[in-house]
Amino acid sequence: MSAPQKPVLAGNWKMKHGPSEAARFFAGFLALHPPRETGSVVFFPPAISFAAAREALQGRPDVRLGVQNVHWEAGGAFTGETSAPMAADAGAALVLVGHSERRWVFGETVAETVDKVRAVLRAGLVPVLCVGERLDERRAGRAEAVVAAQLQPVLEAVPLAAARSLVVAYEPVWAIGTGVVATPDDAGAMHRFVRSRLEAAYGGETAAAIPILYGGSVKPDNARELLTEPGVDGVLVGGASLDPAGFAAICAAV
Ligand code: PGA
């Protein structure tokens, strides 16, 4: 499956909105967000709400669904986990990999993110690889080095033929859920850096086709400024994607 069309407007619900709340959300959101010709809207509900979300989206193929995490194996004795083929079977198109909460709260390693990206691609889905530095790393002038260390092993594992299925999300850890948003300049600079790594791995044409999203305290009142920054191909929104009117306003910002 190839990466979604830019601009990509993605909502990550994290561990919020159970099945009933998911149905209520879409009743509100779909009324406010008619189908559009350009761009893509994607939601990452919790796995337990996925079926309710899919049901609510009957008749709206313009809104796609993804899952927030998968295991790298296709199946087995891994209590509590879901696999990429199962996500595909359930109707997911995309999978978040290496979200900062997976890395920093659950201790997910770079090697695991590489295995997960491989598993997602094998299942025919689009991995959204999340990368981003912590505040101490930025202050120490190591932001690019940290992002490169998260990105490079994945690029080495993904061959050119599969590269157009990739999405990258730059999410500085210090901006996630904090209300502190990166300036468009800072976001733009890191997006250029990520693009340069993609160019080195795959060449300019393929690198230009890979969407690079910004995430971290995106809200209706700052979305337009971020989305019009050159090189920012979309947004990955946590808190502000939980409210139908708020997320519809973010989608309307482009
Ligand atoms: P936030 O989360 O928008 O609530 O900062 C973003 C994310 O974690 O993807």
- The predicted model gives 230-248 an average pLDDT of 98
pLDDT digits (tens, 9 = 90+) for 92-150: 999 999 999 999 999 999 999 999 999 999 999 999 999 999 999 999 999 999 999 99
Distance 237 CA to ligand 1 centre (A): 5
- Rounded mean pLDDT of the chain? 97
Nearest-CA residue for ligand 1 atom 6 is 238
Distance 129 CA to ligand 1 centre (A): 14
Distance 116 CA to ligand 1 centre (A): 21
Separation CA 218–CA 239 (nearest Å): 8
Angle between helices 143-157 and 110-122 (to 10 degrees): 40
Amino acid at 239: G
Catalytic one of 108, 133, 171, 229: 171
CA 125 remoteness from chain centre: 13
Nearest-CA residue for ligand 1 atom 2 is 238
Whole-model pTM: value is 0.98
The two three-digit tokens of residue 42, written as one number: 């994607």
With cut-offs at 50, 70 and 90, classify the pLDDT of residue 1: confident
Q: Is residue 171 flagged as an active site residue?
A: yes
With pLDDT > 90 as the criterion, what percentage of the chain qualifies? Answer: 98
pLDDT digits (tens, 9 = 90+) for 150-185: 999 999 999 999 999 999 999 999 999 999 999 999
Pocket of ligand 1 (CB under 6 A): 12, 171, 176-177, 215-218, 236-240
Catalytic one of 99, 101, 108, 229: 99
The two three-digit tokens of residue 117, written as one number: 């990206």
